Structure 1
C-alpha cells in the first residue's frame, strides 16, 4: 500500500468515527431524563406554551427528521443556537476552543520537559536511588486524580504562598506574542500568563508526565541492551552520544505516538481540570451546559472534542507511517 492510500484510508476511517460521535451525541439527548424544554420554558408555563416552544425548536418532529436535519445543518457548519445564551453554538464553541488547546499544549510541554530526562536518567542508572525516585514519582503521577491534585496546588501555591492565581485566564499566548513585537511590557504579560496557566498545566500534565517517564525508561532499557549500543561502546564512543543520539532517538518513535494520542486525550480530558481552575475552555462549557441542560452547546462541544481527538490520531498515524515506512504494508 502506498503512503497516499494509507492517508486516504485513515481519513475515511476518521470520517466514519466522527459520524459515530455525532450520532451518539445526538442520541444522548433522548436517553437522558428530562426535556430540553424545561431549560427554556418558565416554571409556570402552560401546556400550550410548552408545545409552542417544542414546535419552535423542532422538538415535535419525529426522531429521524430531527437527526437528518441536525446532520444536514452540521455539514454546513451550523451547530444550532444555545438555549440559554442565545448565541450560535459554532461561535460559542470556537471561542472556547483556543483556551483548551493552549492548556493541553502547555500540559504536554510540562510533561515532556520532565518525563524524557527522568526516563533517560532512570534507565541509565537502573536500581539506583535516582531510578527508585523516578519510579515512585511516575507511580504517584499515574495514581493521583488530577482534580485532587489541582485542589492541592491551589491550596499550597495560590492560597498559602500566593504565588499563582487560583482561577481564570489573565492572558493567552497571543497576548504574549503580541507584547513581544509591540511596545507593551513583554515580561509583565509573560508573568501574567504563567501565573494563570502553570497550576492547571501541572495538574493536567502530571498523569501524562508519569506515563511518558515509564515509557521512556522501558524503551531506553530495551535499546541499551541491543547489539548496536554494545558495538558503539566497543568503538569508544562517548556514553552521552550513545544515549542521546542513538538509543534515545530510537526510543522516541513509540513516545511520539503516545504524545500525539495523549494530546487528543488531554483536549477531551481537560473538563475536570478546567472546572477546578475555572479555565474558560471547552471543558468549562461542557460542565455549564450539563448543569443548564443546554443541549445544543453540549452537543457542539462534545462533537468538537471528539473530532479533535480523531484528527490528532490521524495526524499521529500519518507521522508514524512517514517515520517508519514498515507501518504501511500491503
Structure 2
C-alpha cells in the first residue's frame, strides 16, 4: 500500500489540493473563484498535453524504428517483422488517442514523462536537473527584466511630457536651476532608455550573445561559455568537507551571460509596456480629479497611475516566461549550455526524439499555466477591483 501511494504521489497531490479548495469554496466566494481557476488550469493542461502529443505524432518515424535502426548500426540484420514486433511491444501499434491516454495516465499518476528513444532511458532521467536549470535561467532573466523595466519605465512615463528647462516664474532662480538640472538628467536617462529598448527589440538575442563572446575573444580573455571553465568543470562543490569557493566564483563568472542575454529582449519589451501602461493611466479622469484635489508629484503617481498599472503587468508573468523560454534554445546553443532548451533543439532537429520533446514542451506549459493560475489568485486577493469582481459574481 505504501508503494502504491509513493508511485502515484502526483495524482494524490492534485486530488488533495482540489479537495481542499472545494471544501474552502463552500464557505468563501474567493475560494470558489480559486477552485474554478484550478479546474480550468487542469483542463487546459489536459488539452495542451493532447496538442503536444499530437504534434509529436506528426514527426516521421517512431521509437521502434529508431531502436531497430540503432541495432542495425551494431551489425544486426533487421527485418520489417522485427520492427512490427518491437512496435507492438512498445504499444505503438495502438491508436494515437489510446497512446495519448496511456501517456497522460502515466504522467498524472507517477509524473512519468515517457521513454526517450535517443537517450535510451526515461525522459525524467534524460532531463535530470536540466529543466530546473532552464527554469532558473528564465526566472532570473525575468527578474532582471522587471527589476530594470518597472522603475525605469515609470521614470520614462513620468518625464514624457516634462520640459527640459524649468520656466516656472513662481520658483526662485536657484530652484529653477536645480529643477532644470534634474529635468535634464531625467530626460537624458529617458532618451537612453528608449534607445536601449529599441535596440533590445531589434537585436536578436543570439546575435547579442555572439557579440559578447567575440568581444572576449578580441580582448584575449577566456569566453564565458558553458557553466564552468575547464579548470572547475569536473571539480566537486565540496572537497574534504570544504566548500569550493573558487568553483562558485567561476560559476558566477559564466552564469551572468545567459541571464543577461535572455533578459535583454524581455527588458526592452517591458520598458515599452510599463511606459505605455503608466502613460495611459495617467491620462484618465480619476488622475485629473486627484490632481484637482491638490495631490501632486510622487504621491500622485504612486497612488494612482503606477498602482493601477502594475496589475496587468503582474498578470502577464506567465506569458513573459514563455516568451523568454522561446528565446532560450538558440541562445543555449550559441553559449554552449546543456540545459533543457538545448536538449529540446537536439530532440527536434537532430535525433527526432518525440517523447523527449513532448516532455519538455509539456513542462514549459505546466510552468506557464501554473504562473497564470498563481497570478490570478494573488491578484484576486490583493487588487480591490478584481476582488470585488470575484465576490460580485460568486467566482463564476
Same fold (TM over 0.5): yes
**2:367 pairs with 1:283:** no
1:144 corresponds to = 203
Deviates more, 1:94-103 or 1:264-273: 264-273
Partners of 1:114 and 1:209 within 8 A in 2:
yes
**2:6 pairs with 1:4:** no
User: CA, structure 1 residues 95+121, in 2 after alignment: closer, same or farther (shift >3 Å)?
Assistant: same
* 1:287-326 alignment, distance < 5 Å: 287-290=345-348, 291-326=350-385
**2:254 pairs with 1:196:** yes
Residue from 147, 152, 164 that aligns with 1:118: 152
User: CA, structure 1 residues 245+64, in 2 after alignment: closer, same or farther (shift >3 Å)?
Assistant: closer
Please state how far the C-alpha of 1:161 moved relative to its aligned partner.
5.5
2:56 corresponds to = 29
Residue from 60, 76, 87 that aligns with 2:93: 60
User: CA, structure 1 residues 163+231, in 2 after alignment: closer, same or farther (shift >3 Å)?
Assistant: farther
* 1:93-104 alignment, distance < 5 Å: 93-104=127-138
Residue from 177, 183, 191 that aligns with 1:132: 191
3-state SS in 2 of match to 1:293: coil
Deviates more, 1:120-129 or 1:96-105: 120-129
User: CA, structure 1 residues 159+112, in 2 after alignment: closer, same or farther (shift >3 Å)?
Assistant: farther
Separation in 2 of the partners of 1:219 and 1:312?
A: 21
Q: Calculate the TM-score normalised by the size of structure 2.
A: 0.71
1:84 corresponds to = 118
3-state SS in 2 of match to 1:41: helix
Deviates more, 1:64-73 or 1:216-225: 216-225
- Residue by residue over 1:252-276, the C-alpha shift from the partner in whole angstroms, topping out at 9 and shown as x without a partner, is 2222223343134434542222222
2:141 corresponds to = 107
* 1:215-226 alignment, distance < 5 Å: 215-225=273-283, 226=287
1:174 corresponds to = none
Partners of 1:120 and 1:216 within 8 A in 2:
yes
Please state how far the C-alpha of 1:24 moved relative to its aligned partner.
1.3
Residue from 29, 39, 44 that aligns with 1:17: 44
Separation in 2 of the partners of 1:321 and 1:264?
A: 23
- Residue by residue over 1:262-297, the C-alpha shift from the partner in whole angstroms, topping out at 9 and shown as x without a partner, is 134434542222222232222112112221122221
User: CA, structure 1 residues 70+203, in 2 after alignment: closer, same or farther (shift >3 Å)?
Assistant: same
Partners of 1:105 and 1:263 within 8 A in 2:
yes
Q: What residue ranges of structure 1 are gaps of 5+ in the alignment?
A: 171-177
Partners of 2:197 and 2:271 within 8 A in 1:
yes
Larger Rg: 2
Partners of 1:164 and 1:195 within 8 A in 2:
no
Aligned length: 317
Separation in 1 of the partners of 2:33 and 2:217?
A: 49
- Residue by residue over 1:77-106, the C-alpha shift from the partner in whole angstroms, topping out at 9 and shown as x without a partner, is 222222122222123335222101110121
Please state how far the C-alpha of 1:245 moved relative to its aligned partner.
6.5
Partners of 1:265 and 1:309 within 8 A in 2:
no
Separation in 1 of the partners of 2:56 and 2:276?
A: 44
User: CA, structure 1 residues 259+305, in 2 after alignment: closer, same or farther (shift >3 Å)?
Assistant: closer
User: CA, structure 1 residues 309+94, in 2 after alignment: closer, same or farther (shift >3 Å)?
Assistant: farther
Partners of 2:56 and 2:355 within 8 A in 1:
no
Please state how far the C-alpha of 1:310 moved relative to its aligned partner.
0.8
Separation in 2 of the partners of 1:96 and 1:12?
A: 29
